[in-house]
Amino acid sequence: MRQIVLDTETTGLSAETGDRIIEVGCVELFNRKLTGNNLHLYINPERNSDEGALRVHGISDEFLRDKPKFAAIADQLLAYLSGAELIIHNAPFDIGFLNKELERLGRGKVAEHVAGVIDTLVMAKEMFPGKRNSLDALCGRLEVDNSGRTLHGALLDAELLADVYINMTRGQNALVIDTAPSDDPQTQVLAAPAVDLRQYQLPVVQGNAAELAAHAAVLVDLDKACKGKTVWRRHEPAETA
């Protein structure tokens, strides 16, 4: 599967009121592996950046004046993204800006050019409820080195997000078992002999009071995070008088 980790920098926070994209950074993953086929573009937004945005990304208006306008890079960007699944942190923000730029050119919406969008902020909120889930916070939590991130930059942020995404989804492929037969001897797995487990007496280790209390506390936290929709709550036996 081809995936593109994408980030943008903009002149401000609102595409609807005229803010524009000034930088696009894309990192390509194929089957969860970094390919090195990245895309990095600076764009002349045809307006100045807000002071708040400038403090975040540090890209001056003077630097952007000789860069191509979005219309000049649209074909290159869409060809690069075509058919891929996008991975974005706080996807509505970046998608909203890209859609507005494409709308100005009569090029439709991002969704018409890609296979889908994964929002890692939504993923993080589900995995770490009640915690800070900014990119910096996730880098610290997942041990991704972001020491070089003094200012926001689209390509650097996309590279960090790629590492964060891989760490957040690590091990998921191990749950997929391909049972289809293969004619390739290198991909065939030798069948293990069947073992009758009835001959073994398996020990049952009971938790002590502290361990049971800790387990109950974890279940309570999970239930709160799921807003009372956990399976064990739905299937609890009804209380009897």
Structural domain tally of the chain?
Answer: 2
CB crowding 148-183: b at 16 or more within 10 Å, else e? eeeebbbbbbbbbbbbbbbebeeeeeeeeeeeeeee
**Which of 121, 140, 170 corresponds to the end of one domain?**
170
Question: In whole angstroms, what is the distance from residue 215 CA to residue 185 CA?
Answer: 46
Same domain, 24 and 109: yes
Same domain, 10 and 101: yes
Same domain, 165 and 228: no
Same domain, 145 and 220: no
Does residue 191 carry a pLDDT above 80? no
The residue segments making up the domain with residue 61 are: 2-170
Neighbouring residues of 27: CB distance < 8 A, sequence distance ≥ 6: 4, 5, 6, 34, 38, 155, 158, 159, 161, 162
Strand 33-34 with 85-88, pairing: unpaired
**Which of 170, 192, 224 corresponds to the end of one domain?**
170
Indicate the DSSP class of residue 49: P
**Enzyme catalytic residues:** 152
Same domain, 135 and 232: no
Residue 194 lies in a domain: no
Same domain, 157 and 64: yes
Q: What pLDDT score does 193 carry?
A: 63
What's the pLDDT tens digit per position in 75-102? Answer: 999 999 999 999 999 999 999 999 999 9
Same domain, 85 and 6: yes
Confidence category of residue 112, pLDDT binned at 50, 70, 90 = very high
196-204 average pLDDT score: 72
